[in-house]
């Protein structure tokens, strides 16, 4: 479904990604872990087409087509979705209005009444049904913003969802709730793929990845199964860095 080939990316003249290679097949769950400043969030932004980043080399192939020429909204229409690390506040635009516009752009054949039912189900599963008529993220706590991002994913049912530190700012109960809802979303849509970007192993206890990758200094330096996340939780990144350098 997604193939990243030797991706080299810079911003403001600083090279952030230094040759990233990654393949995600349909229905797979991948997690990228790594210390601060390793390039994880940059990778998420570049996949979605953030204009501030310059792709110097490499390619991003989604369902057999390079998405590099496409703008962010065009990539979203093809089935890519990004849950932001720091969700934006948009005063004057209600959650329901934003998502109704999104499904119209995707060409969904659904009536306003049917869509309202879908929206209530998605937000209700995350205990946020009362939020759908509020302005997008305005007055939301950090955790409420993150849960709303997941509710948007449940509503839009993308082909590939990128979750950029979706667990940051969440308490233990909220992490469990988000992880369990993502698992249910996968059960309902087994062909959907997930790319989870996180510092910590805790959310992976509830949405278990098929593959775990460790990113350091703009490169993926190690890949493995779920057990790799447990190793990182136990030993930390410094131990891995010493192993890689050796």
Q: Using CA of residue 37, residue 40, residue 41, residue 42, what is the dihedral sign?
A: positive
Q: At what angle do helices 112-125 and 142-156 cross, to 10 degrees?
A: 130
Residue 244 has pLDDT above 80, yes or no: no
Checking DSSP bridges between strand 193-198 and strand 211-216, what pairing results, if any? unpaired
What whole-number distance in Å separates Cα of residue 34 and Cα of residue 221?
Answer: 10
HSE (CB half, 13 Å, CA atoms) of 140?
28
CB-based contact 39:45 (threshold 8 Å): no
Give 232's pLDDT tier (boundaries 50, 70, 90).
confident
- The string of pLDDT tens digits covering residues 199-209 is 888 889 899 99
pTM value is 0.91
| CATH class of residue range 2-245 | alpha beta
Per-residue pLDDT, 1 = 87
Domain ranges of the chain: 2-245
Q: 87: which DSSP letter?
A: P
Residue 107: the pLDDT is 85
Q: Which of 161, 154, 148 is nearest to 88 (CA)?
A: 148
- Helices first, then strands: H and E counts in the chain: 7, 12
Question: Which range among 143-152, 178-187, 194-203, 230-239 shows the weakest confidence by mean pLDDT?
Answer: 230-239
pLDDT digits 0-9 by tens, 71-99: 999 999 999 999 988 888 999 999 999 99
pLDDT at 246 over 60: no
Q: What is the pLDDT of residues 41-81, one digit of tens each?
A: 999 999 999 999 999 999 999 999 999 999 999 999 999 99
CB 232 within 8 A of CB 35: no
For 25-142, list the strands marked E by DSSP.
29-33, 54-62, 65-66, 80-83, 90-94, 135-136
Residue 165's pLDDT is: 87
Q: Which residues contact 236 (CB under 8 A, 6 or more apart)?
A: none
Cβ-Cβ contacts under 8 Å for 10 (sequence gap 6 or more): 16, 53, 54, 56
Query: Can you read off the two tokens belonging to residue 82?
Result: 């990004």
Helix (H), strand (E) at residue 78: none
Q: Which residues contact 115 (CB under 8 A, 6 or more apart)?
A: 99, 100, 103, 108
Rounded Cα–Cα distance for residues 95 and 152 (Å): 9
């Amino acid at each position: 479904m997604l193939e990243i080939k030797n991706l080299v990316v810079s911003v403001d003249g600083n090279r952030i990604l230094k040759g990233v290679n990654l393949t995600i097949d349909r229905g797979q769950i991948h997690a990228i872990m790594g210390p601060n400043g390793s390039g994880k969030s940059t990778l998420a932004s570049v996949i979605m087409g953030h204009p501030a980043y310059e792709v110097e080399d490499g390619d991003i192939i989604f369902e057999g087509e390079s998405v590099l020429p496409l703008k962010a909204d065009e990539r979203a229409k093809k089935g890519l979705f990004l849950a932001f690390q720091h969700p934006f506040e948009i005063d004057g635009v209600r959650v329901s209005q934003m998502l109704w516009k999104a499904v119209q752009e995707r060409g969904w054949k659904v009536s306003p009444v049917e869509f309202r039912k879908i929206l209530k189900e998605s937000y209700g599963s995350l205990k946020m049904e009362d939020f759908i008529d509020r302005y997008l993220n305005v007055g939301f706590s950090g955790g409420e913003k993150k849960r709303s991002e997941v509710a948007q994913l449940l509503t839009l049912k993308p082909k590939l969802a990128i979750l950029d530190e979706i667990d940051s700012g969440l308490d233990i109960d909220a992490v469990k709730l988000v992880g369990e809802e993502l698992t249910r979303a996968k059960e309902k849509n087994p062909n959907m793929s997930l790319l989870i970007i996180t510092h910590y192993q805790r959310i992976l206890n509830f949405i278990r990845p098929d593959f775990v990758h460790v990113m350091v200094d703009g490169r993926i330096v190690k890949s493995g199964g779920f057990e790799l996340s447990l190793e990182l939780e136990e030993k930390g990144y410094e131990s891995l860095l010493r192993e890689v350098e050796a």
